[in-house]
Chain A
């Protein structure tokens, strides 16, 4: 129903390598949000995607929303140690009520 599936669960990369996490839903999403949670921290909003096929960039981060609005991805180019943390996708109903979070992808970066 409302669940969003997120893969991989965990990724350990060498500094400078790229990283991608994927979020999938069985139903059409009105929007998808991405949050980052540093170890021991709280979720921090990164971005919201609303339009079919939308692509947004924030420096080394690229966010995509699928054409069918059932999947999304976050890609980090040339990871740095500051990128470590857990990246969550979350769906919200159109008028932004509760967030339903994916399981998250834990990113570790080896320097």
Chain B
């Protein structure tokens, strides 16, 4: 069964450093998302991406965040200057077109900012 993959599984970085989290969505999906989950809390929407552009973003997704689909398979989330409060699990998700609402989540990247 096709699945969303994410790398790395765990990233440790120093405050102020840039990180890039990578995702490979399911190949025939057209809608891509990033969510984050701070330890013990609920899953929060960050950004959605369709047709090579951001379709919606949350208040969390400020100027320090960016997304890119550099080729036909990868979908990346970049945090330019990490803060302590960016420490969380980051999930990538993808969705097929045609009105199907089910989102398929990747295993996540645990980001730890020191």
For B41, the chain A residues whose CB sits under 8 A away are 103
Tell me, yes or no, whether B51 is within 8 Å of chain A by CB: no
Q: How far is the CA of A101 from the CA of B38 in the complex (A)?
A: 13
Tell which of B12-20, B42-50, B63-71, B72-80 binds the partner. Answer: B42-50
CA A88 – CA B103 in complex, angstroms?
13
Residues of A within 8 A of B91 (CB): 42-43
Size category of the B interface is 20 to 34
Q: Are B42 and A96 neighbours in the complex by a CB distance under 8 Å?
A: no
Report whether A104 and B42 are in contact in the complex, using a CB–CB cutoff of 8 Å: yes
Pick the contact of A48 from B31, B58, B101 — CB < 8 Å?
A: B101
Q: Is A92 an interface residue (CB 8 A)?
A: yes
Across the interface, name the chain A residue whose C-beta is closest to B102: A45
With a CB–CB cut-off of 8 A, which chain A residues contact B102?
33, 45, 48
A contact residues vs B (CB 8 Å cutoff): 31, 33, 37, 41-45, 48, 88, 90, 92, 95-104
Asked if A98 and B105 make an inter-chain contact with CB atoms under 8 angstroms apart, the answer reads: no
A interface: dominant SS: strand
Identify 20 residue pairs between A and B in the complex whose beta-carbon atoms are under 8 Å apart, listed by A's number: A37-B43, A42-B108, A43-B91, A43-B105, A45-B103, A45-B104, A48-B101, A88-B42, A88-B43, A90-B43, A95-B99, A96-B101, A97-B48, A97-B56, A98-B45, A98-B56, A98-B58, A99-B33, A100-B45, A101-B44
List residues of B whose CB falls within 8 A of some A CB.
31, 33, 35, 41-45, 48, 55-56, 58, 91, 95, 99-108
- Roughly how many angstroms separate A55 CA and B44 CA in the complex, as a whole number? 27
Q: A88-B43, A102-B42 in contact; A96/B107 too (CB < 8 A)?
A: no
Closest chain B residue, CB of each to CB of A104: B42
Q: Which of B33, B101, B104, B108 contacts A33 (CB 8 A)?
A: B101
Alpha-carbon gap, A75 to B100, bound state (A) = 24
CB distance from B23 to the nearest CB of A (A): 12
Q: Are B45 and A96 in contact (CB under 8 A)?
A: no
